[in-house]
Structure 1
């Protein structure tokens, strides 16, 4: 992954790692970050975990692990505030979604695109590489070269179930 060595990039990567799999210690997280090119001290990592809203929670296996405070799961992976927000916003502001290859153009009422794009970004949707929002349009870039149609269809389906 090409990422700048900034606090924001590091914290975004921490959130993505915490969503991907259980991480039981700061040492384990520091190793994962180091493997991706981020060098971090224990003190900085501790502050980053607070900033991203990470908590130590007991998993289904009874072990303690870091998890985000319900704010970034992907659309099909369970309940979270971020997922609920995405569903609510799709139902309220999604006007349409059309795909071409790995691109999706999403239409919203004026002023709503940035809110919906932020909700898409926060769920950590694996199929989505990123979003760019204007006033009433969002451009979504998918990881799969032909993944746009599926993401567009999922957004429309979400809006129908919530609308």
Structure 2
């Protein structure tokens, strides 16, 4: 056990998890648990799973083609909001459908809030805001009948056709 043990609080543990993800290519919760152990902190898989969700970490394909955990800070440091939104749509968007002024986006479980943060941080005059659940995002279009057009805009982003 390390002599510089981290305090056993949730906030301290999550700060260390975030730091490890942002400074190393963390590919699994098992690897993350081992890295925490080296820092003198024991965490169960269930605890790490909750921590990863709460800090907004998701798995993305890195430059080597491997899936690694990433946080919003990592993604913001390497790409602008439009490029990040395009990449996240390509990686996370399962479907998009519009009706009236609403667009419903479907993502993998646990990814909706992460994608919604990227949508909200990208300044787009065509939308008013988002509401995210676990795997579903409702996007409110500025145009009273813009839901279908906005759905197509997200599908285009996922396909590499940017707006």
Q: Which has the larger radius of gyration?
A: 2
TM-score normalised according to structure 1 size: 0.50
TM-score normalised according to structure 2 size: 0.50
